[in-house]
Structure 1
């Protein structure tokens, strides 16, 4: 089904197959679309989406996460505003930036990347999605938290169910059931471990979250569990898809791949451009606190707004030749691409800018360096086609590559 301008419905197979063509039609003809099936106003232009994310007028809240995420995560930092949000962010943010990230967790990232590469570096071929990208960020987070990496498959199943629940715009009852079951299973797994770390803290992120204090406030067991659930889902799903998309964008632009291979300082710029062109999170919702004039119309108080990151990041009014992958793009600055002042919208903006953006940048920087070192002459496997999947989050189902094997020292995890 499509509207008068030929715009396919957001929940249709046509939209899922090629959202980028639909995004162009939305920007041109219906920048503020009322979408009845999701009961939300859909925004597609860069300036409108940026305005909602930055919210300098106090016109939008994250109350939508009360129904969108809280049933599976519990109440998380995403839902909070004002002093409560500032306090919670002050409790968790230090672990994901500065010396804490560099000194404590960068070695964890490097160790996990190289251990995964050891499993295929002698083979000369790899599906980068299933053998590396889907495992790497989860292994890193599990290792950071001091949990058992032997339970990787359980963590992967849990975060997949949570992400599916978050993006269940069609209200599939099976997806809802899987998400609620995951909530119970994750709580049963995590709460005893949290209690144990309270009593006997170690040198891991979970212990630090249990002990962290700001302005006389500590997180409760439920709040720590909810943050760990959010970290696994958001950190796993997004970095997984972002990493595979970045490599696909480089592989299909060989001259830019070789530029990055020759000058590794270009990796953050390449990552930022890939996030702009093929963001792993395609849409984020907000809720209007009052009537707002936006996108050529009015969003009424209490209404949900669906911000199409994938559309805004390709808005020709913001980016020249926006459908082209260009790591030297003038509109992106490597200095701000992983901060709340980023020019792309893949991490949102403002006070709810992704707290794990610098962790994702560190993971991808390590991954691309390690993979380029281990895979000379890397290219797509013969006959391979690249197919993106997903609506709320989007990425490659597989990325089969071949390369010249380079044996190297084995990594002990």
Structure 2
């Protein structure tokens, strides 16, 4: 008896967008290396291959020269070797340890509290529109020490830049809007950067302007590019993660009640969400020489699309991978927010997300405050809403009913 090999899924198809997880299974089992003509890239889906692409030095981030630079400028993600380590060390201290806890935790707490207060007594909320999409962007704007009245501009810029980065089909209008946003953001921020160099304050932008290692400082353009990257990477990961964490917990009431009773489990719920339903499903790399992966050889200079969403549900890596379980023993909670994590949502190795601890802190504070304000949380429509997106993915709306608890 002969078996039929399933057709190769198309990552730009409507079927894939509706249900990528079924396609991921087909890819992992039957098509672990796919040449995708429309995006001019190889697509990989197995955990072992994605892990190699993130950790091994032969896989460079040269793809960001065309993927990110047109809309952000040249960022730390495009740097290698000493240049990368120096610039990472210039920005990293602000996102961990004492600076994060002392300077920015009060900013995070206040922004979350203000948003929750606006709907706390209503008994219903669209958590995406009224909280998740606003919270992390407002935090970043306040961390940078920028005017609160400019929050609206940043939401518009953020949406435009994410549209550019997610534009796998090459829509010319979306591309043009992203390029306009880059120019607007530069015109807005560069004069402020120059002023902060001359008149530093106690904000993140001043810290970036005056950070120095071995006589090296970031240029105005490098600071602007980092802030643009922070706006999108920090906002996108966190806003979609908040919605997905809450969705997954409400869909699993016993786990929701466990987290409600013990807020220290919020970090575990976030880590499992990063594995089960990551905010970003695709990250690209470009090998500097021919590399053999499952299914064949990738030639030097070709783009490799690494499917995070597929790797993080690989049964070769996790038991029962399609089940959400904050207590799963095969997800290393001790390393979940480090470069040694055994999930791929924040990348791995030298380009591990510099803002991972900021995202964790925002989630712990935000989810904790939400659970303190909302009892008996249920889906307003009686069932979890669908997810949307291919490059990034999360519910577009999360309508909940709840009982105000205070």
Q: 1:174 corresponds to which residue?
A: 173
How many Å separate the matches in 2 of 1:402 and 1:158?
A: 31
Q: Does the 8 A contact of 1:33 with 1:43 survive in 2?
A: yes
Scaled by the length of structure 2, the TM-score of the pair is: 0.98
Q: Deviations over 1:276-318 (max 9, x none)?
A: 0000000100001000011131000111100000000000010
How many Å separate the matches in 2 of 1:396 and 1:150?
A: 28
Q: Deviations over 1:199-258 (max 9, x none)?
A: 111110001100110111000100100000000011111100011000000000000000
Q: How is 1:9-408 mapped onto 2 (pairs within 5 angstroms)?
A: 9-55=10-56, 58-383=57-382, 385-407=384-406
How many Å separate the matches in 1 of 2:383 and 2:196?
A: 47
How many Å separate the matches in 1 of 2:295 and 2:402?
A: 51
The alignment of Structure 1 onto Structure 2 pairs a total of residues equal to: 403
Report deviation, 1:382.
3.4
Please say which of residues 379-388 and 389-398 is displaced more in the overlay.
379-388
Please say which of residues 150-159 and 15-24 is displaced more in the overlay.
150-159
Scaled by the length of structure 1, the TM-score of the pair is: 0.96
Q: Does the 8 A contact of 2:291 with 2:299 survive in 1?
A: yes
Please say which of residues 382-391 and 230-239 is displaced more in the overlay.
382-391
Unpaired runs of at least 5, structure 2: none
Q: 1:5 corresponds to which residue?
A: 6
Q: Deviations over 1:128-150 (max 9, x none)?
A: 00000000000100000001222
> Which stretches of structure 1, 4 residues or longer, exceed 3 Å deviation after superposition?
382-385
How many Å separate the matches in 2 of 1:321 and 1:161?
A: 37
Q: Deviations over 1:118-165 (max 9, x none)?
A: 100011111000000000000100000001222222111111111121
Q: Does the 8 A contact of 1:384 with 1:400 survive in 2?
A: no
Judging changes above 3 Å, is the alpha-carbon distance between structure 1 residues 382 and 395 closer, same or farther for their aligned structure 2 residues?
closer
Report deviation, 1:384.
5.5
Report deviation, 1:6.
3.0
Please say which of residues 384-393 and 84-93 is displaced more in the overlay.
384-393
Superposed CA RMSD in Å reads 1.1
Q: Does the 8 A contact of 1:283 with 1:309 survive in 2?
A: yes
How many Å separate the matches in 1 of 2:316 and 2:225?
A: 39
How many Å separate the matches in 2 of 1:41 and 1:322?
A: 24
